Amino acid sequence: MIAMRVATVARREYLERVRSKAFLVSTILGPVIMAAFTLGPALLMKRQRGKPLRLSVLDASGHLYQDVERALSLRKEAGQGRFVLKPPPAGDFQVAEAGLKDQVLKGDLDGYVLLPQDALERSVVEYYGKNVSNVMDIRLLNDAVEEAFVVRRLSAEGLAPDKIGHLTKKLDLKTSRLTERGAREDRGGLFFLSMILLTMLYTTLAMWGAALMNGVLEEKNNRVVEVMVSSIPPIQLFAGKLLGVGGAGLTQFAVWAGSLGLFAAYGASATAASGLAMPEVNPLVLVALVVYFLLGYFLYGSMYMALGASVNTQQEAQSLAFPVMMPLLLGFVFSFTVLASPDSPLSVTLSLIPFFTPLLMFMRITTVTPPAWQIAASIAIMALTIAAMTWLAARIYRVGILMYGKRPTFPEIMRWVRRA
Amino acid sequence: MRSCQHLFEDQKVNQSVISLKGVKKAYSGHLAVADLSLEIPRGSVFGLLGPNGAGKTTTLRMIMNVIGPDQGTIDILGRPADQAARDRIGYMPEERGLYPRMVVEEQLVFLAEIKGVARAEALRRLGPWLERLGLAEWRKRKLNELSKGMQQKAQFVATLLHDPEILIMDEPMSGLDPVGTNVLRDVLLELKRQGKTLVLSSHQMETVERLCDSIALINRGQKLLDGLVSEVKSRYGKNAVVLAFDGDGGFLSTLPGIAKVTDFGRYVEVRMDDGADPQAILREAAGRLRLSRFEIVEPSLHDIFVEAVTAHGQELDAQEGS
């Protein structure tokens, strides 16, 4: 009988949230934004780099043209030539440069390299192009010309040209993340993923908390609450709202975690080709994402409900919101400390403080998986804190929802707790 | 078998469906309800009357456990008020409230569900009620798309849909246009015929006089008088006359044997001292005014109300002064 009414209230809350446009948009947009942040740059660059750059080289020194041209046309990316070289127009230097400018502006050419008279001595080369913000191409261009210069200088010192390439080979620093399941190459993707998931957790906890608070405030201001309280004990109303809205949050996270899993499985191959490897998404991370969202939701959600019941308007809520928002925000701020050294005693301690656990323990799980006992301890501590917090919040809620008029002070709210 | 059980229940509840004993409620020093005892008879239309701030709403809220009394007991249907008992009451609070962005149908079914009615049953009952109150075409619309009057009607359906034995309505007529008032009154009278008990609070005496058979008048948290409307009136004696006339009736209050003259605009009500002769007034008035109506009547509830409340107020003020 009791469970029935709690379920009825929860069902109403759930449907109302899930049917709203905001829910639809944020649930679909979450994975889209996530994909945009990780896949987007890689895909964009890949597309841009699909088209080779049409270049001309204008040589004022009179002796570098061939070396530079050869280095540029040898430059290949994924088996394709990056630069297509066109001979500069005939005529003296001024006329030729004017001709090249013209071609670039007309779009017949993407740009031209100008080798000044003392280019080799001063190591200065100029590039003029319609677009100079295509960082990857400019870098390749830089490397190619530099290589040509180095070869030129070293051969002038008497080195055999076939040895030069071998001797000046550039260093490639490969970074790999070592886990119990083996090493895996990771070039910073994991860092981004951790930050994205953490930001997602932080914003959704604040978002669902605010949604709960506004729901309570709305019932209070529309005076629906009087009809409700005459039909169902306030404690059950509280439970029903918390569970129903939580169900909507869980649905959203299930969609997100699911799409992240799919994304990790299928997206990895897509990104691999572009050189920006997608980090491994451990199933544990997906489970942890959902679990820590729920734990955080119940802790902060009950606080937000008590807040909504204590005030009459959103403005009043803002002035009382500080103690509710602060721990969540602090957790977010500390996440940078934890990310820098996830296993330090400070990080371990912070991640076991229940108000920070949802963000910080989750962050540790995504980086260096903590020992199982720490994860278990964090969940146990949170469960106890949630029990205490819901008890407290429900008592504040019970008195607050029927209080109108002046905004209560903290001592007054504490009196409600004792009175209820 | 069933009727026997009913009979037994009736005896058990002793004809009172709601019974308040020594109920008291104070808000931060201000006494809203002071030692109030009420018996609301089964099957009656009970009017809880009083001026603004008399404690009507507080009393109804305590019956519905929206707030708890500081002292005293409240029995519903013969046993201490609990959730199961309150499920058999339909409550329309003074501050109307429904979910503004919720579809009418879903909203009303939901409110019946949390009163313990099965979803399918609530849906089945909803149609006829919406039809009756002219809300059928608004069934699938959000509440905030409805006019104020329509919202009131939706609120009324919300109060009734779980088929309660007792209806408690705080200022039921406020905010309704005359057509809406008539529809509501018809429905209320039909519910009364079905044997339901109606409890209405109001400060509009005319509404109450037409509908109620029992009343309690409260002022500043205290009960001034209660009982059947007919009893209350006869207690005040059949010593009033109503006069309608052309001309200046100012002299009426100066006549001997006249206690009080209340001007209602189109007519005046004259209260006489005990033992005064109405015929003397008729003779005097007929000589000086063009009378279109002269009638010996019971005093109106309005008059009794004003008189009792004024006297009580003076009494309290005198106590405070001394």
- Cβ contacts (< 8 Å) between A219 and chain B: which residues? 97, 99
Chain A: closest CA distance from residue B62 (Å): 10
Residue-wise pLDDT for B269-281, tens only, equals 888 887 778 888 8
Instruction: Give pLDDT, residue B211.
Output: 85
420 residues of chain A, pLDDT tens digit each = 568 889 999 999 999 999 988 899 988 887 787 677 666 666 666 655 567 788 888 888 888 888 888 888 877 765 666 788 888 887 788 888 888 888 888 888 888 988 888 888 888 899 998 887 777 788 888 888 888 888 888 888 888 877 887 788 777 777 676 666 555 555 566 777 788 888 889 989 999 999 999 999 989 888 888 889 888 989 999 999 999 999 999 999 888 888 878 877 766 555 554 445 555 667 788 889 899 999 999 999 999 999 999 988 888 888 888 888 899 999 999 998 888 888 889 999 999 999 999 999 999 988 877 889 999 999 999 999 999 999 999 999 988 888 877 778 888 888 888 876
Mutate to test the interface with A, among B27, B76, B99, B108 (most CBs of A within 10 A): B99
Q: Residues of A near B (CB-CB distance < 8 A)?
A: 1, 4-5, 8-9, 12, 16, 218-219, 222-233, 402
To test the contact with chain B by mutation, choose from A227, A416, A419 the residue with the greatest count of B C-beta atoms within 10 A, namely A227
Helix (H) or strand (E) holding B164: none
- Cβ contacts of B93 on chain A, cutoff 8 Å: 223, 226-227, 230
Q: Nearest CA to CA, how far is B113 from chain A (Å)?
A: 7
Whole-number pLDDT of residue A249: 93
Considering only the beta carbons, identify the residue of B98, B106, B115 that sits closest to A231.
Answer: B115
* Closest Cβ–Cβ partner in B86, B97, B111 for A226: B97
Q: How far is A3 from chain B (nearest CA, A)?
A: 11
The ipTM estimated for the assembled molecules is: 0.79
Residue of B nearest to A16 (CA): B102
Residue of chain B nearest A222, judged by CA positions: B97
Compute the distance between CA of residue B153 and CA of residue B168 in angstroms, rounded to an integer: 15
* pLDDT given for residue A352 in this prediction: 94
* Subunit contact A226:B113, Cβ cutoff 8 A: no
Q: How far is A403 from chain B (nearest CA, A)?
A: 11
Can you list the residues of chain B whose pLDDT is less than 70? 1-14, 237-238, 321-322
Query: Chain A partners of B83 at a C-beta cutoff of 8 Å?
Result: 232-233
Taking the C-alpha atoms of residue B185 and residue B190, their distance in angstroms, rounded to an integer, is: 9
What pLDDT score does A188 carry? 61
Residues of A in contact with B111 (CB under 8 A): 227, 231
Q: Are A222 and B64 within 8 A, CB to CB?
A: no
Searching chain A, which residue's CA lies closest to the CA of residue B156? A227
Distance (Å) from the C-alpha of residue B116 to the closest C-alpha of chain A? 8
**Nearest CB partner across the interface for A223, out of B64, B93, B111:** B93
Q: Which of A9, A219, A230 sits opposite B91 (nearest CB)?
A: A230
Contact A56, A84 (CB under 8 A): no
A231 vs B86: CB contact, 8 Å cut-off? yes
Report in angstroms the alpha-carbon separations of B77 from B15, B41, B82, B92, B178: 9, 10, 10, 19, 34
Write the residue in B100, B106, B114 that is nearest to A9 by C-beta.
Answer: B114
pLDDT at position A278: 56
On whether the CB atoms of residues B218 and B36 are closer than 8 A, the answer is yes
Q: How many CB pairs under 8 A join A and B?
A: 62
> What's the Rg (C-alpha) of chain A?
31
Specify the pLDDT at position B82. Answer: 84
CB contacts of A8 in chain B (<8 Å) are 110, 113-114
Q: 3-class secondary structure for chain A? A: CHHHHHHHHHHHHHHHHHCCHHHHHHHHHHHHHHHHHHHHHHHHHHHHHCCCEEEEEEECCCCCHHHHHHHHHHCEECCEECEEECCCCCCCHHHHHHHHHHHHHHCCCCEEEEECCCHHHHCCCEEEECCCCCHHHHHHHHHHHHHHHHHHHHHHCCCCHHHHHHHCCCCCCCCEEEECCEEEECCCHHHHHHHHHHHHHHHHHHHHHHHHHHHHHHHHHCCHHHHHHCCCCHHHHHHHHHHHHHHHHHHHHHHHHHHHHHHHHHHHHHHHCCCCCCCCCCHHHHHHHHHHHHHHHHHHHHHHHHHHHHCCCHHHHHHHCHHHHHHHHHHHHHHHHHHHCCCCHHHHHHHHCCCCHHHHHHHHHHCCCCCHHHHHHHHHHHHHHHHHHHHHHHHHHHHHCCCCCCCCCHHHHHHHHHHC
Measured CA distances, B91 to A229, B160, B230 (Å): 11, 8, 27
Contacts of A231 in chain B (CB under 8 A): 86-87, 111, 114-115
- The pLDDT value recorded for residue A9 is 94
- Residues in A touching B100 (Cβ below 8 Å): 218, 222
Which residues of chain B are within 8 Å of residue A227 when distances are taken between CB atoms? 91, 93, 97-98, 111, 158
Query: Which residues of B lie closer than 8 Å to A, measured between beta carbons?
Result: 61, 64-67, 83, 86-87, 89, 91, 93, 95-102, 106, 110-111, 113-116, 158
Q: What is the pLDDT of residue B157?
A: 93
- The shortest C-alpha distance from A412 to chain B (Å) reads 12
Chain B residues touching A228 at Cβ < 8 A? 114
Q: Answer for the pair A218, A247: CB distance below 8 angstroms, yes or no.
A: no
